[in-house]
Amino acid sequence: LFSGRWDKKLLRDGSGRIFLDVHGDCFQAIVDYLNELAISSEDERPKTPTIEDDCKPILAQYMMLFGLTAIPQIPQLKHLGKRRRQRISTSTRKMHRIAMLAIEAPEVNSKSPEVDRFAKEINEAINEKWKSLHALEEEVTSLEESFKDEEHFIGSLSSGDKKDIITLNVSGTMMTTTRATLMTVEESVLAQQFDDTKWTEQGNSNSPKVKEWTPEDVTNWMKSIEGIPDVVARLFCENEINGLELLALDRDGLKDIGVTRAGTICLLLKEIKTLEQKSQDVSTLIEHSPYCFGKILDYLRLKQLHSQKLIKEPLLPIISLALIERFEKVVKYYFPGETSTTILGHCGEIVDDYLVSTKSRYRT
């Protein structure tokens, strides 16, 4: 993924940064593990990445997704929530840890009959060449298959257009994902809200983006700033400064176009910085609990990876018992009717703070 050969294919945001639609804390745990691994000897290997119990199933999926061998142990349900309040899983499936998995490829006999019609030395030389050619052919075939797998992985995990990267303001908590993730469950309210036939690029409005401003737009903006003389605004007009150039201006650049007063330079630098931040901080408001919506988003991310055949079917979310009712309401708001079972499942009754029954406790 980060070898360099796929850089031009990786999805990037508006600032040119590589974007992966994954759980931030889980990915950070993997990065921390790799950082420690890089400075560890063979005799002192780092421990398996750790994270809160309710996120361990997600971390386990990511570890396998990225081909890492140290799989975090997923705790049994009865042990969940011992450290941080009570938690339950909405999944009726037991959680297991794969200790070892052996895969054997079927033997393929690609050897040609040995040559024996010439002198012994010649036969041996020819047969040795054939062996080398067969070995090389197998290596090339293996590399071709690896390249195809790698290409599929990159295309499935990190592809698309930057306009499909969606920033959400979830009651003050910023979350970023892709439109494809939000549309994973086609019948959901989220899928309808971000449908490509209805969705326009985030931040799109009647006014152009700052980077697309003309010199006239820049001049009008300059005139609207309190404390900036008209003579300074005219300097920008005379130098035909457009929006892209405006955002690139620094102290020396302002002096080059004729702005000399120190106070005016400082004021302009502050206003330009504020303008740049506002042009980037465009988000869609989600007025729901960040905890509940975050759990939904985490599950949809895994479902999207599963639909790309990159991971196995994910476990249903593990939810804090104190927030289970609120979580139900948020899920049923975005996933009405039977679609709510996609995330809620048919979980059991709670006895002694744990999920022990197979009866459905969710009403549709």
The answer to whether residue 222 is domain-embedded is yes
Q: Which residue has the higher pLDDT, 218 or 126?
A: 218
Cα(126)–Cα(118) distance, integer angstroms: 10
Residue 241 has pLDDT above 90, yes or no: yes
Q: How many of the other CB atoms lie within 10 Å of CB of 20? A: 15
> Over pLDDT 90: what percentage of the chain?
41
**Region 216-233: what's the mean pLDDT?**
92
Q: Give me the pLDDT at residue 101, please.
A: 44
Domain-located, residue 51: yes
252 and 148 in a common domain: no
Higher-scoring residue by pLDDT: 330, 69: 330
Are both 157 and 263 inside the same structural domain?
A: no
Q: What is the pLDDT of residue 1?
A: 81
Question: Is residue 139 located within the same domain as residue 268?
Answer: no
Q: Residue 289 gets which letter from DSSP? A: -
Per the structure, the count of domains in the chain is 2
pTM confidence score:
0.62
Question: 92-96, 186-190, 311-315: lowest mean pLDDT where?
Answer: 92-96
| 165 and 22 within one domain | yes
Of 259, 280, 301, the residue at which a domain comes to its end is: 280
What's the pLDDT score for residue 112? 64
Query: Is the same domain home to 336 and 225?
Result: no
Q: Do 20 and 149 fall within a single domain?
A: yes
Taking every pair of Cα atoms in the chain, the longest distance, rounded to a whole number of angstroms, is 98
Q: In terms of residue numbers, what domain contains 37?
A: 1-104+116-203+285-364
Whether residue 63 lies inside any domain: the answer is yes
Over residues 300-320, the mean pLDDT reads 92
- Please report the pLDDT score of residue 111 as a whole number: 58
Q: Is the pLDDT of residue 352 over 90?
A: no
**For 62-112, what is each residue's pLDDT tens digit?**
998 988 865 555 555 443 433 334 444 444 444 444 444 444 544 545 556
Q: Are residues 217 and 190 in the same domain?
A: no
**In whole angstroms, what is the distance from residue 153 CA to residue 2 CA?**
12
In a domain, 111, yes or no: no
Q: Which of 237, 254, 280 delimits the end of a domain?
A: 280
CATH number at residue 230: 1.10.150.50
Residues in Cβ contact with 191 at an 8 Å cutoff, skipping those fewer than 6 apart: 182, 183, 184, 185
| Spatial distance between the Cα atoms of 281 and 241, rounded to a whole number of angstroms | 23
225 and 354 part of one domain: no
| Residue 109 within any structural domain of the chain | no
Q: What is the per-residue pLDDT for 77? A: 44
192 and 223 both lie in a single domain:
no
pLDDT confidence of residue 267: 94
| Cα R_g (the chain), whole angstroms | 29
248 assigned to some structural domain: yes
181 versus 144: the higher-pLDDT residue is 181
pLDDT value of residue 304: 93
If asked whether residues 230 and 267 sit together in one domain, one would say: yes
CATH number at residue 309: 3.30.710.10
- Residue 236 forms part of a structural domain: yes
Distance CA 185, CA 335 (A): 8
Whether 350 shows a pLDDT value over 70: the answer reads no
Domain boundary among 255, 280, 305: 280
Please tell me whether residues 229 and 305 are part of one structural domain. Answer: no
105-145 pLDDT, tens per residue? Answer: 445 455 567 877 778 888 888 888 888 888 888 888 877 77
Whether residue 85 is found in the same domain as residue 194: yes
Between 115 and 255, the more confident residue is: 255
Residue scoring higher pLDDT (157 or 323): 323
